[in-house]
Structure 1
């Protein structure tokens, strides 16, 4: 079917999504034209207002260790050392939604750049200035002023929370989640719930697409 595509439920500040990023990039490189990826922001911790406690930081670092062991992705924990750091995932998700609306062809790359900035470089992606810097680095010549205005808009906030609602209605309970469809009955099937290595995911999609993975 010509309208087949993938739906990727993810969050820019989800460590397992960061671990899954090389797999997503490989999927896009191999099947981007035949199985385009539609991004939906999952809403990991949107609207969080409380600063992280030492216990919360320890729990997060434990998760990061597991992700590193499974995926090999590098981590820089310095962002958690910032005094009063609030792990609010909404600003970064909203930034991806803004780019998805304005430049859908760049949304996936921008998601990956935010993940790298946060996890590998220790940058605070809850801040608008940092998100704008990442965009400038990812998309040379991007209209940063327009991005900031759109990111701060009520329209962008509503669209982002609509994403969260879509994720919930779809029954997505964890990230990353990748689904594909529609099939001949118009239904979507799960490719993977949670992290999976490329050697597990790519053959599934190659079989579905009817050609070898590159």
Structure 2
């Protein structure tokens, strides 16, 4: 059974990652493909106080629903931060290129943790390379930060990330996360947003 997740660096995607990990543990027959959404790819506006408060509101809701922690102080302390999600989406694509057989969800969640808990600047290639190389090493696929960064910078990697963004739009995704079940040559929407693992499992059984 193949699932396709359209996701980005949004707080609900962060919460959803925990539920998908639980689903993978329950259903080892499942394979998961991630399409990066490019929600704020290329954004140039600086995250101001209003933007921080907007995100804190959603963080509180996600924390209540998922039980995952958020570093609120880290967000409030950011100055001059441009909330561009293209770099981190491209980092997930980089991991996929370098280690196509790896559990990409665990790598994706490592990048989410870097932003939401460690309060790292996930628009910086060097930061993403360190996180990505450690995430790959954690799943038994060693990779140096230097090699990761080299691939992250390539024009072909930038283009592959952009292709993911276009795919997400082409399949009609307008908000994240969105989870699909691949049935033969078509995608069936299973969850148009966050859902708990029990609900996901029930929906999959019904869809199958």
TM above 0.5, yes or no, is yes
Q: Secondary structure at the match of 2:65?
A: helix
Alignment correspondent of 2:65: 70
The 3 A distance-change label for structure 1 pair 86 and 80 is farther
The 3 A distance-change label for structure 1 pair 165 and 59 is same
Alignment correspondent of 1:91: 87
- Matches of 1:136 and 1:102 in 2, distance apart? 10
Contact persistence 1:180–1:191 (CA under 8 A): yes
Gaps (5+ residues) in structure 1?
A: 210-214
The 3 A distance-change label for structure 1 pair 93 and 31 is same
Contact persistence 1:5–1:180 (CA under 8 A): yes
Runs of 4+ displaced beyond 6 Å: none
1:128 aligns with 2:125: yes
Deviation of residue 27 (structure 1)?
2.1
1:6 aligns with 2:3: yes
- CA RMSD in angstroms comes to 1.6
What TM-score do you get using the length of structure 1 for normalisation?
0.88
Alignment correspondent of 1:82: 78
Contact persistence 1:44–1:89 (CA under 8 A): yes
Q: How many pairs were matched up?
A: 202
Q: Which moved more, 1:72-81 or 1:172-181?
A: 72-81
Contact persistence 1:79–1:124 (CA under 8 A): no
Alignment correspondent of 2:14: 18
Contact persistence 1:18–1:112 (CA under 8 A): yes
Gaps (5+ residues) in structure 2?
A: none
- Matches of 1:175 and 1:119 in 2, distance apart? 16
Alignment correspondent of 2:173: 172
Alignment correspondent of 1:139: 136
Q: CA offsets per residue over residues 130-188 of structure 1, 9 Å max, x none?
A: 212212322233132221111011111111011011000100011110000215xx432
The 3 A distance-change label for structure 1 pair 136 and 187 is closer
Deviation of residue 71 (structure 1)?
1.4
1:199 aligns with 2:202: no
Contact persistence 1:9–1:176 (CA under 8 A): yes
